[in-house]
């Protein structure tokens, strides 16, 4: 269990306790105190230093507007500052990716491959000094002994960078499974005013049953009044990623 709280500007009071309480209501369990990324700053600095010694980092002075104005290759970073910042002022730190192709197998999305030139060098430390998500999760996964990452398909595009960072830091390779994410009927991200709303803990059992159904595990009628623990006991031995193979989005139920 991990609390990603590095960006203090986005933290809302009470959000952490609400998230944990909702997970508990849905029957989730963890075997240790949740890890807060805000306590891991020294570990991230060590990782940055290791990448710097390996000559995989460079300072980047490009603003978002600069990149938007010169966007190419599907929005990939074009390598403007690979030989040094092009203007004075604060800089971010980017991880220099390899040339050529990348490829890996995902348990749900299948074989994933692409060209690094369409991804570009990724930011690992922001201009404001905060360590970026892409590096923090890689360092924490290794420290926590994670072997399998199961998450939404909206994060599939981050996986090549995270795998490359892990390899550069000498971490064991992880296995990935990216489940479909719910979208509006037209394919857009869920609207907050409609279905992208917090789970009501008083209806946790119903929310869990609906999630299982969307994952291809519709609970039978005899489990209509089952508790979350009973639903998990029924679902876990029956789980298979096969029905979701290659599916990145699912329409949200009305």
pLDDT at 192 over 70: no
Closest residue by Cα to residue 168 from 231, 122, 129: 122
Question: What pLDDT is attached to residue 190?
Answer: 81
Q: Which residues neighbour 78 within 8 Å (Cβ) at sequence distance 6 or greater?
A: 67, 70, 72, 120
| Phi, psi of 92, rounded to the nearest 5 degrees | -95, 170
Mean of all residue pLDDT scores within the chain: 91
- How many domains, in total, are found in the chain? 1
- Any domain includes 69: no
Residue count of the chain, please give it: 254
- Any domain includes 15: yes
- Any domain includes 227: no
Q: How far apart are CA 119 and CA 74, in angstroms?
A: 8
Q: What is the pLDDT of residues 211-248, one digit of tens each?
A: 999 999 999 999 998 999 999 999 999 999 999 999 99
Question: What pLDDT is attached to residue 67?
Answer: 78
- Any domain includes 212: no
- Any domain includes 46: no
The predicted model scores a pTM of 0.90
pLDDT at 198 over 80: no
Indicate the pLDDT class of residue 71, thresholds 50, 70 and 90.
Answer: very low
Domain that holds residue 8: 1-37
Q: What is the pLDDT of residues 91-131, one digit of tens each?
A: 999 999 988 999 999 999 999 999 998 899 999 999 999 99
First to last CA, the chain: 31
Report, as an integer, the average pLDDT of 50-61.
Answer: 97
- Any domain includes 5: yes
> Could you write out the DSSP letters of every residue in 84-115?
S-SSSS--EEEE-PPSSEEEEEETTTEEEEEE
Indicate the pLDDT class of residue 52, thresholds 50, 70 and 90.
Answer: very high
| Cβ–Cβ under 8 Å, residues 128 and 159 | no
Radius of gyration in angstroms for the set of CA atoms belonging to the chain, rounded to a whole number: 20
Q: How far apart are CA 222 and CA 17, in angstroms?
A: 33
| Cβ–Cβ under 8 Å, residues 20 and 34 | yes
Indicate the pLDDT class of residue 72, thresholds 50, 70 and 90.
Answer: very low
Q: How far apart are CA 37 and CA 41, in angstroms?
A: 7
């Amino acid at each position: 269990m991990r609390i990603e709280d590095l960006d203090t500007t986005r933290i809302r009071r009470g959000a952490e306790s609400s998230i944990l309480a909702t997970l508990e209501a849905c029957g989730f369990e963890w075997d240790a105190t949740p890890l807060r990324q805000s306590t891991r700053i020294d570990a991230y600095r060590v990782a940055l230093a290791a990448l710097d010694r390996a000559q995989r980092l460079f300072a980047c002075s490009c603003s978002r507007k600069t990149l938007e104005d010169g966007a190419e290759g599907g929005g990939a970073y074009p390598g403007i500052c690979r030989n040094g910042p092009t203007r004075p002022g604060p800089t971010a730190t980017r991880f220099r990716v390899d040339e050529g192709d990348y490829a890996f197998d995902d348990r749900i999305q299948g074989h994933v491959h692409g060209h690094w030139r369409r991804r570009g060098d990724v930011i690992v430390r922001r201009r404001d000094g905060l360590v970026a998500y892409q590096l923090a999760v890689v360092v924490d996964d290794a420290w926590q002994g994670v072997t399998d990452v199961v998450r939404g398909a909206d994060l599939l595009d981050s996986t090549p960078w995270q795998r490359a960072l892990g390899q550069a830091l000498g971490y064991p390779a992880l296995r990935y499974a990216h489940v479909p994410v719910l979208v509006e009927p037209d394919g857009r991200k869920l609207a907050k005013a409609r279905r992208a709303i917090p789970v009501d803990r008083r209806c946790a059992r119903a929310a869990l049953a609906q999630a299982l159904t969307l994952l291809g595990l519709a609970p039978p009628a005899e489990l209509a009044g089952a508790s979350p623990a009973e639903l998990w006991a029924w679902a876990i031995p029956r789980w298979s990623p096969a029905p979701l193979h290659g599916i990145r989005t699912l329409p949200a139920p009305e």
